[in-house]
Structure formats: structure tokens, C-alpha cells
Amino acid sequence: MVLLRVETLPLFPRVRRALIELLASLGTEEWKRPTVCPGWDVHDVAAHLLGVDLANVSGRRDAHWLGPRSGEHLGAWLAGFNDQWVEAARRLSPRVLVDMIEPAGRQLDDYFAGLDPERVDAHVTWASKRPVPVWLDIAREYTERWVHQQQIRDATGRPGLTGEEFVAPVLTTFVHALPLAYAQTDASDGTTVQFAVTGPGGGCWHLTRNDAEWELAAGEHAHPAAEVTLDADDAWRLLTRSPTAADPRLSGDHDLAGVMLSAVAVIA
């Protein structure tokens, strides 16, 4: 599997500061606004973000895991785990949530900083069925924090963290979901499909079929058999199954391009 290295660890404190400033600015009624996460309001998504950090510190650093039982589907287990935490955290006031986010996140930052990012023993299930480098797992954690903050910003009408320095690492991480999406798609060797994203943080990536595998590469291909084009704000929404403002533009072989629309860069 070809991977496109992305460095996200320095972004964790910046995204967290932005989250704290955002939450501290919200009025009482804004905490109650619904988000795109089914059944969750702004308070629930903020509580989930706190829970993600606490669970990661407990599990990764302290080896205190409460994982799925043997044979239990990971996505279903995780959804239940998250709902249990959010339900309990509804007892916490917005101020308590905000006050806890920084110390919890800083502990996880410190843990991540002590890891070898090139060690290949991490798992990102939507990107590969095989172990991946630690840096990709950390990048996945970054995308979760960025995406959920965007959902809060959308729900409260606040501007998003849409600068290139924040968005580009999200999209470069998410495109690692494309080879798995095409894994069962047959084509002759040399066939190429392209994913083009416009706007700040966007870019161009392509997959080429070689020896029964689809290989990911950055950059534009001269003659793709199929291409999907959309802007950066719609790209991350598409890959996380969030509502998009506009449909992607497909060109070339629409059946081949359409497979790209099935890619999911979240645990489902």
C-alpha cells in the first residue's frame, strides 16, 4: 500500500485552542442546537470530543481498554460506546466541559509526541486491512477533532477552520480511504481514476491499477479514465457522509468514477 505522509501532531494544540475559544463564545441556546450527528446537539458533540481524548489517554497510554467483545462489529460497538459517554456527559455543564478539554488534550499530545511515527503497528480500518504507520493513526485522530469542530461551527453559524494549513492535512489523510473503496473494482493494469479538490487545502490525487491493486499517488494524471471533482468543503463532507452543498462532478467513465463516491473515511 502506498501512503502519502502527512504531519498533524503540531496541529492538535491549535485546533484545540480554536475549539475552546469557540465553545467559550457560545450562548446558552447555542449549546442546544442540533448538529448533523443524529440525536446530538452542540453540547453532545463537545462532550464527545472530550471523551475521545479521555478514552485515548486511558486506552493508549494506560492500557485501560474497554473494547468490543469477540465477534462484535467495531462500528456498532463504537457507536454504543460513544452514545453511553455522551448520555452521561449531559450532566456536565458547558463550563465544566470547556475547562476539561485542555488538560485532557495536552495529555494525549504528550503521549503521541513520545511515539515513533514510522512504526508500522497502528490500525486505521477505513484505510487498510493491514497495519499502518503510527503517523496515519495520529492523522486520523486529527481529522476527527477537526471534523467535529466543523460540525459545531456549522450548527452555530460560526466560520469554519478552513485555512489551507488545517484542511490540507484532513484531505490528504482522507484520500487514504480511496484504495480500499476500489479494492473490489476490476480494471486493466494502468487504468487511472482521479480525485480533484478545488479551493484552499485542496489538491489532486489519483489511483492506478497495477497487479490487482489500486495504488494511491499525489498529483495530476494526464489521462485518467475517470475523474471526480468537487471543492474542499464538499470533499471532507462527502468522505465523512455529511450533507454536501453540491454534487461532485463526474467525468470519463461514470461507473468507475462513482466508486469513489462510496469511499468512507470514518469508522462505520
pLDDT in tens, 184-224: 999 999 999 999 999 999 999 999 999 989 999 999 999 99
Q: How many angstroms separate the CA atoms of 257 and 252, rounded? A: 8
Asked whether the whole model's pTM tops 0.85, one would answer yes
Average pLDDT over residues 233-242: 96
As a whole number of angstroms, the distance between CA 144 and CA 116 comes to: 21
Residue 140 has pLDDT above 90, yes or no: yes
Give the mean model confidence (pLDDT) for residues 46-68: 93
Lowest mean pLDDT among 75-84, 141-150, 208-217: 75-84
With both helix axes pointing from N to C terminus, report the angle between 164-174 and 11-24 in degrees, rounded to the nearest 10.
120
By the 8 A CB rule, do 2 and 217 touch?
yes
- In this prediction, residues 163-180 reach a mean pLDDT of 97
Task: Read off the pLDDT of each residue in 62-91 and give the average, rounded to a whole number.
Answer: 87
Predicted confidence (pLDDT) at residue 267 exceeds the cutoff of 90: no
How far apart are the C-alpha atoms of 117 and 134, rounded to whole Å? 5
Look at residue 251 in the predicted model and tell me its pLDDT. 97
pLDDT of residue 176: 97
pLDDT for the residue 68: 78
Supply the pLDDT for residue 78: 83
The pLDDT of residue 72 is 79
Give the pLDDT of residue 80.
Answer: 87
Q: What mean pLDDT do residues 136-141 have?
A: 98
**Calpha distance 238→216 (Å, rounded):** 19
Q: What is the pLDDT of residue 127?
A: 96
Strand order in the sheet with 249-252: 213-218, 203-210, 192-198, 226-231, 249-252
pLDDT at 217: 97
SS3 content of the chain, % helix, strand, coil (to 5): 50, 15, 40
Work out the average pLDDT over 120-126: 95
Predicted confidence band of residue 71 (pLDDT cuts 50, 70, 90): confident
Average pLDDT, the chain: 95
Rounded (10°) angle between helices 74-89 and 42-56: 110
Contact between 188 and 136 under an 8 Å Cβ cutoff? The reply is no
* pLDDT greater than 90 at residue 245: no
- Residue 234's pLDDT is 97
Report the helix count and the strand count for the chain, using DSSP H and E: 9, 7
Contact 241, 207 (CB under 8 A): no
Q: What percent of the chain shows pLDDT beyond 90?
A: 90
Distance CA 179, CA 152 (A): 30
